Amino acid sequence: MVKNRTIFTGDNLPIMRGMADETVDLIYLDPPFNSNKYYEAPIGSKAEGASFKDVWRLTDTDLAWWGEIADVQPKLYTVIEAIGAAGGGSNMSYSIYMATRLLEMHRILKNTGSIYYHCDPTMSHSVKLMMDTIFGGNSFRNEIVWCYTGPGSPGMRQFNRKHDIILWYSKGAKWAFNSDDVRIPYKGGKPHVGGYGMDKDDVEEYGKKGKVPETWWEMRIAPRSTKEYTGYPTQKPLELLRRIVRASSNEGDMVLDPFCGCATACVAAEDEGREWIGIDVSELAFNIVKERLHKPREEGGIGSLFANAVIHLDKPPKDKNVKRSRDIKHTLYGQQEGKCNGCLMHFQFRNLEVDHIIPASKGGSEDDSNKQLLCGACNRKKGPNDMPYLVAQLRREGLRQ
């Protein structure tokens, strides 16, 4: 069990794979957006040195992830293939990377838990397809549009893009939603509730209570709050994260941010009396969250008494009940793009078999470089022979060019 107030440094995939099943109540993630940009914090800012690449190529992707998805979630594999066909290699690479991690988030999220995926219109439509597949379409709760203002550019040929998308899914049929904790005032102080059988006193009381926000949230960006802003690229406002934490978790619940950056979700969780875990590739996350917890409110922090209690770990946790079976078949499936190396036809993961390119009887080694995937029919046709024999047979039968 991971302790409260822990910041992990490193790739979040092995870290989440070391976490026990159903131990997190709320996940908020603000991962890269496939923006095709490089981000770097300004020199002299608190986040100086923080940088990340949001550029995606298939050559940068661990091909074993592709095989793992095909093994565990064949439907998800099909969805990602479609995303790649529509959007190209960049979209496919991003989707493989995120889908592998979303599968782990689904596993560690409690059945009563929620996940909020922060993205932008670049990939939100593709992310929704993946989340529908992993969490189920019936688990989709809301698409929240976070709106903000800003100047345009001279010579613009389209509307100014000033919003992000936040996709909220529950894991099960029951989830936390604390409506009274997120109510906002009605404009003019009075609700429009005509026809609901309310008398004047009821309407007045209803108006004092405020309303549950719509799915568009207008909040200023973090750089507009000079006290709060750390200089971290893509920093989100504390107000935004407070609303999410209040709405979908309760005091004492565990909140996870697997792409925590400057740890705004962790700070919000601490401020709202929740437990939290953050993961980031940069060690700066640990230093920044401690400073933000320690600083008094008037200086942009939350004045927490527990700032020095933050734990920093650079190795994944190890839960003995979590088992992973990753082998050469997963890597080969990714390398061959799911195709049999003989007939070149596409097959589901379970229908392909690991075989030697050059059999041991003909001097072939047991090294992974001498292994391939064949469908059952091609594997039987090849028998104890080598690949040139199989290819010749398939061409003779018109099964391969």
- The domain limits of the chain are 6-181+219-313, 328-396
Does this chain's domain 6-181+219-313 share its CATH topology with 328-396?
Answer: no
* 67: Cβ contacts below 8 Å, ≥ 6 apart: 329, 330, 331, 332, 333, 334, 349
Q: Using the predicted structure, report yes or no on whether residue 195 has a pLDDT greater than 60.
A: no
The pTM score is 0.93
Structure confidence at residue 196 (pLDDT) = 64
97-151 tens-digit pLDDT? 999 999 999 999 999 999 999 999 999 999 999 999 999 999 999 999 999 988 8
- Considering the domain 6-181+219-313, what is its CATH architecture? 3-Layer(aba) Sandwich (3.40)
With beta carbons less than 8 A apart as the criterion, state whether 100 and 13 touch.
yes
Band (223; pLDDT cuts 50, 70, 90)? confident
> What stretch of H or E contains 396?
helix 387-396
CATH topology of domain 328-396: DNA Binding (I), subunit A (1.10.30)
Q: What would the two tokens of residue 202 be? A: 């009821």
Q: Can you tell me the distance from the alpha carbon of 399 to that of 344, in angstroms, rounded to the nearest whole number?
A: 9
Express each pLDDT in 341-354 by its tens digit.
999 999 999 999 99
> What integer best gives the mean pLDDT of the chain?
92
